[in-house]
Structure 1
Amino acid sequence: MAANKSLGIMTRCQGSHFVDKGYYRKLTLFGRKHGIRVFVFSPRRVDFATRTVRGFEYRGGVWQGGTFPLPAFIYDRCFIGPSYRHYKPFVEKLQNDPAITFLGYGLSGKWQVQQILAKSPKIAPYLPPTQIFTLANLQDTLSAHGSAIIKPAAGTHGIGVVRISEKDNGFELKGRNRENQPISRLFKHWGGVKLFLSSFTAGRKFLVQPYLKLHTPEGIPFDVRVLVQKNGLGEWEVTGKAVRLGDPRSITSNLHGGGKAVSLSPFLARTYKPAMQERIEQQVNQLAVELPIFLEQSHGRLVELGIDIGIDTSGHVWVIEVNSRPGRNVFNLINDPVAKRHSITQPVRYANYLMKSV
């Protein structure tokens, strides 16, 4: 296969261990059908002098290690987290290499995305008021709304998201810690909250927002995951939509926190009156079309986005988070075979489109 027909999946490998092996195996097999050689590599294993990289290729039913020429095209699946700083310089060097095309450039964090989207008159009304976390900003939010959430500026899976509520007998904190374990604390005085949060947020940037009542009338937290991807013509397309239902004891609906998934329309029909259901679906569809185009204009090329949409108890639609390295397990859980298939094949179709265009 020609060198320009190679697609490197860039991820964080610990030796031969890397996440999403099942997904990458399917990408490899689908790529092979299109004459594209797909392999997985860590940006830390690139040798820029020889323009080669140590990586893994799925062959003969197993992942095999080897040395590969630097791929002409890269699919960035390097999830951002506290240890990303060890990878960042290598990722940036690859991004600046004129011989390499990235399918899309990863979003840098929730705050930067918020700043971009706030410039769109069409999208801004769907954004919750957001500030950089400081104790003063938290106090202002609590004074105005009675409860607030803090969440890491870079992070996923609901990890580190905490709700702070004012109660008659003090302050209640509820959420998940850095190990994704549920936490619940009650403090009689603000001093206790202050002490706890200064330790909890130490060394990381957090955001503060009003707490939105994103749950069903029965109190089950939920959000809507919309997966949008570039197709084989280089155009944005909605791959699928699903509702993620959380544990009633949790404040987030993330599947990593023990949630489950259901199809969108039947869920909305059960939860809202018909006129409201219609308006909500319309707004979700509108965001799925407008948000990727607007974000890409400011940010640079993107290949796919997971848009997490919240709907509060009064039916207001909110953009909660936008992720440039989305998971796709939700479509297995709701048994949507078309969305499941497209979620895997679209990145290869888009890579094929770029290979013909570049």
Structure 2
Amino acid sequence: MRADARSLGIMTRCQGSHFVDKGYYKKLTLYGRKHGIRVFVFSPRQVNFSSRTVKGFEYRNGSWQANVFPLPALIYDRCFVGPAYRHYKPFVEKLQNDRNITFLGRGLSGKWQVHQMLSKSPLLSSYLPPTEILSFATVQDMLQKHGAVVIKPMAGTHGIGVVRIKETKSGYEATGRNRENRPFRRQIRDTAGLKTFVASFTSGRKFLVQPYLKLHTPDGTPFDVRVLVQKNGQGEWETTGKAVRLGDKRSITSNLHGGGKAEPLSAFLARHFKPAVHSRIDQTINQLAQELPRFLEDCHGRLVELGIDVGIDTAGNVWVIEVNSRPGRTVFRLIDDPVAKRHSITQPVRYAHYLMKERVGGY
């Protein structure tokens, strides 16, 4: 049995009929149906490679209904990388190697791999914070040079496990979010205590260390800019939207999962930066949105969309903080941007339609 040429499978981690982002997938399904594309959700662990079928769920008549589907011609990979991903990875790789199946895009490996790829670009590398794989020696070295550092999990999401460590008169202070995404602040007396804290906090996971950048407003509210770029119906990169995410003052990150808020970019920049600086920041972000997806795709392979997280420090310098190949869309609903909200949902289906036409040489 060949792959179903007019179907798009959304690959995600399912526990029975439980999976995240049901609202988003419902909208994808309804939009796909209008264009003659059958959209369904499945777990890579439910694929039967012998019969080339998969157990999954399709939104019909107001609810998600279980069914067995032929393997889809196109797969939209929404399997978020994390500790549980190792249980899915062998099945994902087998699907990726199937010559009858096309992935809209292949997920990025992790923060360190992305940093190494972007470092190869003379333009993009100038916007990357100095980054090293964490060891206690690298933490000490950066603390000596910069006075404060940030440690973050290589495969972390939502700001979980991101910690600022800074020198104080009485030793060190660690501020951030723990593994349960709760904000914390801890005073550490000396270097031995710091070594114990770092070893305990990072135990079992790989971390990166970077200089701490002052990515906050004058009143200490952390913020970053989410730029969503996606392939459109012509297979070309397009900027869907830009928005500012503001975090809790008790935190050092601005992720919405940590209790953050959102607002439109232009109004935010106008409030906090002088017109000339505002204009320069705008131009830089637009340049990054144009250059980064193409360069990263050349290094990595096909991508369908990227969430580019941009930091702006108190001096108005722009930094590429993180790039996510499975971005969320909540921020555009929160800032009430109906065009960005609509495009964020419809672009993957438009791109899938473009790829279907490419595969069969037009209808």
Tell me which interval the TM-score lies in, with the shorter structure as reference length. Answer: over 0.9
Q: Which moved more, 1:194-203 or 1:72-81?
A: 194-203
Equivalent residue, structure 2, for 1:33? 34
The answer for unaligned runs of 5 or more in structure 2 is none
Alpha-carbon distance in 1 for matches of 2:84, 2:236: 33
The Cα RMSD (Å) is 0.7
Equivalent residue, structure 1, for 2:324? 323
Alpha-carbon distance in 1 for matches of 2:67, 2:334: 34
Cα distance, 1:195 vs. partner? 1.2
Q: Write out the 4+ residue segments of structure 1 that deviate beyond 6 Å after TM superposition.
A: none
Equivalent residue, structure 2, for 1:88? 89
Secondary structure of 1:126's aligned partner: coil
How many correspondences in the alignment? 357
Equivalent residue, structure 2, for 1:261? 262
The answer for unaligned runs of 5 or more in structure 1 is none
Q: Does 1:7 align with 2:8?
A: yes
Cα distance, 1:214 vs. partner? 0.1
The amino acid of 1:135's aligned partner reads F
Equivalent residue, structure 1, for 2:105? 104
Equivalent residue, structure 2, for 1:229? 230
Equivalent residue, structure 1, for 2:308? 307
Secondary structure of 1:4's aligned partner: strand
Cα distance, 1:160 vs. partner? 0.5
Q: Does 1:166 align with 2:170?
A: no
Cα distance, 1:314 vs. partner? 0.5
Alpha-carbon distance in 2 for matches of 1:41, 1:199: 37
Q: Does 1:240 align with 2:241?
A: yes
Secondary structure of 2:72's aligned partner: coil
Alpha-carbon distance in 1 for matches of 2:164, 2:52: 48
Alignment of 1:34-49 (within 5 A): 34-49=35-50
Summarize deviations over 1:3-59 as a string: whole Å, max 9, x none: 201000000001100000000000000000000000000001111011111100000
Summarize deviations over 1:103-140 as a string: whole Å, max 9, x none: 00000000000000000011011000000000000000
Equivalent residue, structure 1, for 2:19? 18
Q: Does 1:217 align with 2:218?
A: yes
Equivalent residue, structure 2, for 1:59? 60
Alpha-carbon distance in 1 for matches of 2:55, 2:243: 37
Cα distance, 1:178 vs. partner? 1.1
Cα distance, 1:248 vs. partner? 1.1
Equivalent residue, structure 2, for 1:341? 342
Equivalent residue, structure 2, for 1:200? 201
Cα distance, 1:192 vs. partner? 1.3
TM-score relative to the length of structure 1: 0.99
Alpha-carbon distance in 2 for matches of 1:232, 1:163: 42
Equivalent residue, structure 2, for 1:187? 188
Equivalent residue, structure 1, for 2:145? 144
Secondary structure of 1:90's aligned partner: helix
Equivalent residue, structure 2, for 1:133? 134
Cα distance, 1:196 vs. partner? 1.7
The amino acid of 1:64's aligned partner reads Q
The amino acid of 1:129's aligned partner reads P
TM-score relative to the length of structure 2: 0.98
